[in-house]
Amino acid sequence: LKCGMRTTKCQLLVTSLFVMLLGLSIATLGTVTHYGLHFTLINNISLESNSYRVIHHAAFYFGICLSMTLILAALLSSIATVRESQCLTAVGYFCFALAFCGLLPAVCWRYTHGAEVEDSMMDVYDLVYDEVRRNTSSFRRHELTAIHEAFLCCGKNSPFGDTASVEHKTCPPGQAHGAGKDCLQEIRIFLKKHMDLVSMLLAVAIGFTVYGMILTSFLWFSIHFSSNLNRKGKYILR
């Protein structure tokens, strides 16, 4: 029992370290998603009716809460391992379980609503592009130029005829009409890379939280039975 408990403590300390790094990575990714140039630009341009704003803010706050839960679980598990405290071990297990309950819906949402994020971003670009093409707003022209510079793209394939005049005024210098990359494709590629990174982090986090739950439960039982064994054979003479 003592040998198994020692092995469990070493494994739990290493797991807690990785979980803490995962929590910091998720917090960093959430901050980049919320304050990054590409996402902030689309968020500021999008209309109130567009679902991107809700997704933009919800992803940030959910990521911060999830990262704090993972970091708290790692800290409590580490302290419980060093002190061999049943109470802290139980709280650490609860934090791991809470993080697991948050990770599962996040993974499901990523695969069921991933296209919604992509569509909402491209809808923002389509709106700005069409308004600039109709010359309805000079302010929209500056927004379209900012999108082109952020995503390093130039215009899109439009069914409304030649759009060389729009692209000539809003594309980055050096990208002539027809030579630049299609912005809808570039937005899709950029978002796919970002979502793949999110998926990888969530999958790794699920694996470590499950492993952390197993180790903390085993450590709790080890501490419990070890304390019971230490009390056996002790008598008080009166």
Per-residue pLDDT of 24-48, as tens digits, reads: 999 999 999 899 999 999 999 888 7
pTM of the prediction?
A: 0.83
Surface-to-core class of residue 55, CB atoms within 10 Å of its CB (0-12 exposed, 13-18 middle, 19+ buried): buried
Sorted by sequence, the CB contacts under 8 Å of residue 139 that are 6+ apart come out as none
Give dist(CA 211, CA 22) in Å, integer: 14
Tell me, what's the pLDDT at 179? 54
Sequence-distant (6+) residues with CB within 8 A of 41 are 146, 147, 150
| Closest of 78, 108, 84 to residue 14, by C-alpha | 78
SS3 letters for 108-146? HHHHHHHHHHHHHHHHHHHHHHHHHHCCCCHHHHHHHHH
Two tokens at 86? 């049943």
Burial group, residue 173, by CB count within 10 angstroms (0-12, 13-18, 19+): exposed
Q: Look up residue 92 and give its two tokens.
A: 């650490």
Question: What does the pLDDT read at residue 232?
Answer: 47
> Which residues of the chain are modeled with pLDDT < 70?
1-5, 136-137, 158-167, 174-180, 226-238
- 44 SS3 class: helix
Structure confidence at residue 18 (pLDDT): 94
- State residue 62's pLDDT score: 94
CA distance 158 to 1: 71
Q: Which residue in the block uniquely carries the two structure tokens 């697991």?
A: 100
Residue pair 128/140 in contact (Cβ under 8 Å)? The answer is yes
Q: What is the pLDDT of residue 4?
A: 57
